[in-house]
Amino acid sequence: MSIPLHQLRAGVIGTGFIGPVHIEALKRLGVQVTAICGSTKSARACADQWGIPEVYGDYDYRAMFASPNVDVVHITSPNKVHVEQSLAALAAGKHVVCEKPLGMTAKETARVVAVVKRRGAPVFAVNYMCRFFPAVLQMRALVQRGELGQIIHVQGHFFQDWLLHATDYNWRLLASEGGQLRAVGDIGTHWIDAVSFILGTRAEAVFAHLETFHKTRYRPRGEVRTFAKVVPKTMLPYRVDTEDFGSVLLKFGRAKHGYVNGTHANAAISQVAAGWKCSLALGIYGTKGSVRWDLQQPNEIHVGRRDEPNQVLQRATAGFSEDVAGYTDYPGGHPEGFPDSHKMHYRAVYQHIASGRKTPVLFATAADGHHEVKLCEAILKSSRAKRWVRA
């Protein structure tokens, strides 16, 4: 029997850009947020803002995991501590929602997969929440019901411009902090995960070309919160060891539903594309029709036909099928977007926990997160060797 979501209690690690996005979404779902962990000052401020009773400063996540008042841990800290914090949370018997990427290397993320596979292990999700935009679920339904026919190819991009200037700084720019791949690891994996989810199968091989436009950048002393603007006169130069943009070809495997087999995809990924703020755009092209979507216009999809008129289908109207209806809360014409995709994702994870794992697993698992890290390693290898590499 399912328990109400408000009986589940969350503890959040990290108080930067994305931590409060998790907190807000959980509060909108009626989940209790009982604990926060971060730097002593920011954890206190976050607790005061959101009314969170238990505060764990000095990044002392182990103290938070010892709390009997936390059922689910949300890991929203920088990438380099995801695996260590995930393993400790699982060892403490906590369910986990871990931010992407799951870790820095496939060697370390394999450790999480091994623990999650054990009988009785807690539920583990990686926050590839783009799966939970109703538009993405609708595109998945179109593909998997054969309404687009055999899928021929997939094309798209993920473009941002917040790292366009040499003076833009964030820990992600340093391979030691964010991982060897930056644009592809940070946002490209959202694109690849969304396409894998829609197609119903994973990418198996890649051919990539990566480029670093700003070989030298300038950083302030101390840390900068994601998307924050800083004053250039306090800057120090440093050599950049991560890519600004990349072009990636992907070969997908065979899907059980029979409409995808060896499908080819190409994606352009950039964090230096002036004017684009957060454009995850993709088009799926089949023998009977195509479908296109851009996260910057999240409420509609464009369906293309050769011999019939094209259509623009809108969320929460007749063009979106019944099975997508459970992932949207507001009527048509009342836009839902980025914060709602987080809410729908956490609802799916918490319902899975509350139902004793009876609901379908649409969310990205530890194995999915691990595969994304393996793909990143294959992409880096391919770019250096200039050949196809299997993941």
Residue in 24, 27, 42, 359 binding ligand NAD, rule: CB under 6 A: 42
Give the nearest distance from C-beta 278 to ligand NAD in angstroms.
Answer: 9
Give the nearest distance from C-beta 345 to ligand NAD in angstroms.
Answer: 9
Closest CA to 79 of 57, 48, 108: 108
Residue in 9, 10, 11, 15 binding ligand NAD, rule: CB under 6 A: 15
Closer Cβ to ligand NAD, 127 or 271, answer by number: 127
Q: Label residue 72 exposed, middle or buried (CB < 10 Å: 0-12, 13-18, 19+).
A: buried
Among 36-44, 154-162, 193-201, 323-331, the segment contacting ligand NAD (CB under 6 A): 36-44
Residue in 95, 100, 157, 182 binding ligand NAD, rule: CB under 6 A: 100
Which three-class secondary structure state does DSSP give residue 300? strand
For residues 200 to 239, the per-residue mask of contacts with ligand NAD, x marking binding by CB under 6 A and - elsewhere, is -------------------------xx-------------
Q: How far is CA 291 from the centre of its chain?
A: 21
Give the nearest distance from C-beta 16 to ligand NAD in angstroms.
Answer: 2
Six-digit token string for 334 = 């009342």
Closer Cβ to ligand NAD, 143 or 190, answer by number: 190
* Site for ligand NAD contains 127 (CB under 6 A): yes
SS (H, E, C) 316-361: CCCCCCHHHHHHCCCCCCCCCCHHHHHHHHHHHHHHHHHCCCCCCC
Residue in 9, 11, 12, 16 binding ligand NAD, rule: CB under 6 A: 16
* Site for ligand NAD contains 18 (CB under 6 A): yes
For residues 69 to 88, the per-residue mask of contacts with ligand NAD, x marking binding by CB under 6 A and - elsewhere, is -------xxxx-x-------
* Site for ligand NAD contains 14 (CB under 6 A): yes
Which three-class secondary structure state does DSSP give residue 382? helix
Size of the site for ligand NAD (CB under 6 A): 24
The reply to whether omega before 101 is within 30° of 0 (cis) is yes
**Cα distance between residue 132 and residue 128, in whole Å:** 9
Closer Cβ to ligand NAD, 18 or 96, answer by number: 18
Q: Label residue 336 exposed, middle or buried (CB < 10 Å: 0-12, 13-18, 19+).
A: buried
Six-digit token string for 116 = 């999650």
Strand partners, 384: none
* Site for ligand NAD contains 13 (CB under 6 A): yes
Residue in 10, 12, 38, 135 binding ligand NAD, rule: CB under 6 A: 38
CB atoms within 10 A of CB 296: 14
Question: How far is residue 354 from each of residues 25, 90, 127, 129, 250, measured CA to CA in Å?
Answer: 17, 17, 19, 19, 37
Among 9-17, 237-245, 268-276, 290-298, the segment contacting ligand NAD (CB under 6 A): 9-17
Residue with smallest beta-carbon separation from ligand NAD: 16
For residues 149 to 188, the per-residue mask of contacts with ligand NAD, x marking binding by CB under 6 A and - elsewhere, is ----------------------x--------------x--
Residue in 99, 294, 336, 372 binding ligand NAD, rule: CB under 6 A: 99
State in Å, rounded, how far the first CA of the chain is from the last one. Answer: 40
* Site for ligand NAD contains 11 (CB under 6 A): no
**Cα distance between residue 186 and residue 209, in whole Å:** 16
**Cα distance between residue 205 and residue 338, in whole Å:** 30
CB atoms within 10 A of CB 102: 32
- What residues line the site for ligand NAD (CB under 6 A)? 13-19, 38-39, 42, 59, 76-79, 81, 99-100, 127, 129, 171, 186, 225-226
